[in-house]
Amino acid sequence: MKKQFLIFHISFLIFISGCINLEQTTKINDNGSGTIMLHYWTKNSNLTMGDELGGLSFTEDKVRQNYSSPNTTVISVYIENTDDDSTTHVKLNIQFQDLNRLSEAPGFSKIRPGWSKGNNMMEFSYVIEKDSVNVAGMNDNILEYKFEFPDEVVSTNGIKDGNSVTWRKPLSDHKENIEMIATVRSKGKVCGIFGFDFLIILSGLFFVSTGKRTRNSY
């Protein structure tokens, strides 16, 4: 497989020629920042020819390179060999400043994310390009994507559970772009006469009243 075939999605299990498993969970804050927990693994026998498989790296330096950018910071990387099932696991924690800039990292180059202000709501989208992975021989597998949002999910084309949404797709859907969308209630500040503006008005009236009493005392 070409190096460009990178795929790193939200909370799902994927098999690349039956060799690699991958899970990822993303939490998004109201301002578009957030964290990603990524875990992928493979049989040790699949790494006898090198430390890269299906576009995924199994060395810390390369892992950090794949997921680092001006927008993303790799907080931690943990690589473990388990004797019980003879597998190698890579676990990493990623912090991002802006979901909209996630594709600046090489590992997310095939993702088109969106997080923008709508009508008192936040509009979310996450498009996975159809050429992000070679789906040959993997049509029976199911992909699962999970996003945790900062507030109530009002509408979505996924399965809603509180502030989280899950998308389950057959891997055969990767023959076309996969689009996930959601509308999330915004935690924006309270405005108008019942919010911060009201406090400003009260403060102004207080100083005006105090000034008048001071002048009348002379």
Closest CA to 71 of 111, 130, 12: 111
Same-domain pairing of 118 and 144: yes
Same-domain pairing of 105 and 126: yes
51 close to 77: Cβ distance less than 8 angstroms: no
Helical (H) or strand (E) element with 206: helix 196-216
Which residues are within 8 A (CB) of 115 and not within 5 positions of it... i.e. 6 or more apart? 28, 32, 98, 99, 100, 122, 123, 124
Based on C-alpha coordinates, what's the Rg of the chain?
Answer: 24
Is 5 domain-assigned? no
Note the pTM of the prediction, 2 decimals.
0.71
Is 102 domain-assigned? yes
Same-domain pairing of 168 and 97: yes
Same-domain pairing of 44 and 100: yes
Is 11 domain-assigned? no
Is 195 domain-assigned? yes
Helices (H) and strands (E) in the chain, counts: 2, 13
E strand spans, 7-141 = 20-28, 34-43, 52-53, 56-57, 72-82, 87-96, 111-117, 121-128
| Residue 139 one-letter amino acid | N
Is 1 domain-assigned? no
Q: What is the pLDDT of residue 51?
A: 82
Rounded CA-CA distance 65/71 in Å is: 13
Closest CA to 127 of 168, 55, 181: 181
How many domains is the chain partitioned into structurally? 2
7 close to 15: Cβ distance less than 8 angstroms: no
Same-domain pairing of 176 and 204: no
The residue range of the domain holding 202 is 191-218
Q: What is the pLDDT of residue 8?
A: 40
Same-domain pairing of 149 and 196: no
Query: Per-residue pLDDT for the chain (218 aa), expressed as one digit of tens each?
Result: 444 433 444 344 444 444 667 777 889 999 999 999 988 888 888 887 778 776 778 899 999 999 999 999 999 999 998 878 888 899 999 999 999 999 999 988 888 999 998 778 999 999 988 765 544 444 444 567 789 999 999 999 999 999 999 887 765 555 678 899 999 998 754 444 444 444 455 555 555 555 555 555 55
